Chain A
Amino acid sequence: MHDVATDTAIKNAFATVSFKQKRKDAAVRWTMRIATYFILACAFFVFIDIISKGAPVILDRGLDFFTKNPETLMVFETADGTEHQLGYSDFVVWKDNNPDQEIVEQHGYTYCGGGILGPVVGTAFLTIICIVVALFIGLTSAIYLNEYSGKGKFMDMIRLAILNLAGVPSIVFGLFGLGLFCLAAPVITNEIKEGAWHIPLLSGYAISFQGWGTSMIAGGFTLAVMILPVIITACEESLKAIPMGFREASLALGATKWQTIRKAVLPYAFPGMLTASILGITRVAGETAPIMFTAAMASKATLPWQGLEGNVFERFFGFLSQSVQALPYHIYTVAARIPQSEYTKPMQYGSVFVFMVIVMAFAAMSIFMRIHYRKKLKW
Chain B
Amino acid sequence: MATTTGNDTSKVPNAFKRKGIRVFGLGKAEFIKYFFGGNASLAIVVLILICVFLMIEAAGFLPGNRRGLEDYRKSGQEFVDFIRDEINQHTATTTKLSIAYYAEVNETSRHEDQLVGAFIQVRNAVQNDSGKVYEGLEQVIDRVDELKDDLEEAREEAAEAAEAASANAPADPNAVAANSPAAPESDEIKELERKIAAAEASVKEERKHYLTVAEALLKEESTWDLEQAGLHLGEEEKGKISEAVLFYLPDTEGDHPYISELKKISSDKKKVAAEEHADFKAVVDEFRAAVQPMRDFVSPLKDKAEENRALATSFLTAGARREALLASAKRVEDEAKKQDILAQAEEVNIKEPPYDKLTEIFYASIPQYHELSPAFLAASEAAMAKVPEKVSTDSARENLGMAKSEFKDLKKIGKKNDKRVDNWRHDRPVSMIGAFFSFLTGKDWVTNSSWHDSYGLLPLFTGSLLISLIALIVAIPFAVGAAVYVNQVAPFKEQSFIKPTIEFIEAIPSIVLGFFGILVLGTALRELSQVPYLSWVPGFPMSERLNILTAGLLLAFMAVPTIFTLAEDALNNVPATFTENSLALGASKIQTVFRVVVPTAVSGIMAAVLLGFGRVIGETMVVLLVAGNKIQIPDFSKGIGVVTEPAHTMTGIIAQELGEVSQGTIHWQALFMVGMVLFAISLIINFSAQQVLRRFQKI
Residue positions of A touching B, CB distance < 8 A: 21-22, 24-25, 28-29, 31-33, 35-36, 38-40, 42-43, 46, 49-50, 81, 137, 140-145, 147-149, 154, 157-158, 160-176, 178-180, 183-184, 225, 228-229, 232, 256-258, 282-283, 285-289, 292-293, 328, 331-332, 335-336, 345, 348, 352, 355-356, 359-360, 362-364, 367-368, 371
Contact = CB atoms under 8 A, between A and B. Distances in A.
B32 interface: yes
B478 A293 contact: no
Contact of A141 (B40, B50, B509, B615): B40
A66 to B, nearest CB: 19
A38 B478 contact: yes
B493 to A, nearest CB: 14
Interface of B: 28-29, 32-33, 35-37, 39-44, 46-47, 49-50, 53-54, 56-57, 132, 136, 477-479, 481-482, 484-486, 489-490, 496, 498, 500-505, 507-516, 518-520, 557, 560, 564, 588-591, 594, 611, 614-615, 617-621, 624-625, 651, 654-655, 658-659, 663, 671-672, 675, 678-679, 682-683, 685-687, 689-690
A144 B655 contact: no
Contact of A336 (B39, B482, B625): B625
Nearest to B503: A367
A366 B617 CA distance: 27
Nearest to B47: A161
Contact of B498 (A40, A160, A168): A40
Contact of A332 (B625, B663, B690): B625
Contacts of A173: 50
Contacts of A356: 508-509, 512
Contacts, number: 265
A332 B53 contact: no
A363 B507 contact: yes
Contacts of B41: 154, 158
A332 B504 contact: no
A335 B520 contact: no
A163 B690 contact: yes
A335 B515 contact: yes
Given A171-B654, A285-B509, A336-B624, A39 B44 contact: no
A172 B621 contact: no
A286 B507 CA distance: 8
B39 A137 contact: yes
Contacts of A286: 507-512
Given A35-B482, A288-B620, A148 B498 contact: no
A287 B54 CA distance: 20
Contacts of B32: 257-258
A336 B504 contact: no
A359 B624 contact: no
Contact of A39 (B478, B512, B590, B663): B478
A144 B588 CA distance: 47
A22 to B, nearest CB: 8
Nearest to A35: B481
A97 to B, nearest CB: 25
B671 to A, nearest CB: 8
A161 B43 contact: yes
A144 B482 contact: no
A173 to B, nearest CB: 8
- Interface residues of A: mostly helix, strand, loop or mixed? helix
Contact of A288 (B40, B621, B686): B621
Contacts of B651: 169, 171, 289
- Interface residues of B: mostly helix, strand, loop or mixed? helix
Which of B33, B37, B500 is packed against the most chain A CB atoms within 10 Å? B37
A180 B507 contact: no
A335 B682 contact: no
B505 A256 contact: no
B145 to A, nearest CB: 16
Given A169-B618, A171-B678, A164 B505 contact: no
A108 to B, nearest CB: 20
Given A292-B655, A367-B504, A28 B590 contact: yes
Contacts of B619: 169
A29 B53 contact: no
Contact of A355 (B29, B486, B509, B560): B509
B478 A33 contact: no
Contact of B505 (A39, A154, A258): A39
A172 B618 contact: yes
A69 B403 CA distance: 55
B36 A172 contact: no
A364 B620 CA distance: 24
Given A148-B37, A158-B43, A356-B512, A179 B679 contact: no
A36 B486 contact: yes
A162 B47 CA distance: 9
A359 B509 CA distance: 8
Contacts of B35: 140
B39 A39 contact: no
B658 A293 contact: yes
A191 to B, nearest CB: 18
A287 to B, nearest CB: 7
A210 to B, nearest CB: 12
Given A175-B54, A257-B29, A169 B505 contact: no
Contact of B43 (A33, A39, A228, A292): A228
For the complex of A and B, 9 pairs with smallest distance between CB atoms: A169-B618, A286-B509, A179-B53, A363-B507, A144-B36, A35-B481, A32-B485, A141-B40, A140-B39
Contacts of A42: 557
Contacts of B50: 168, 172-173, 176
Contacts of B514: 332, 335-336
B507 A335 contact: no
B478 A167 contact: no
A287 B509 contact: yes
Which of B502, B520, B679 is packed against the most chain A CB atoms within 10 Å? B679
Contacts of A164: 47, 682-683, 686-687
A174 B501 CA distance: 29
Given A176-B53, A179-B54, A288-B510, A137 B682 contact: no
B43 A232 contact: yes
B513 A46 contact: yes
B502 A332 contact: no
Contacts of A35: 477-478, 481-482, 485
A39 B29 CA distance: 51
B505 to A, nearest CB: 5
Nearest to B27: A256
A148 B35 CA distance: 11
Contacts of B39: 137, 140-141, 144
A31 B481 contact: yes
Nearest to A335: B515
Which of A36, A158, A336 is packed against the most chain B CB atoms within 10 Å? A36
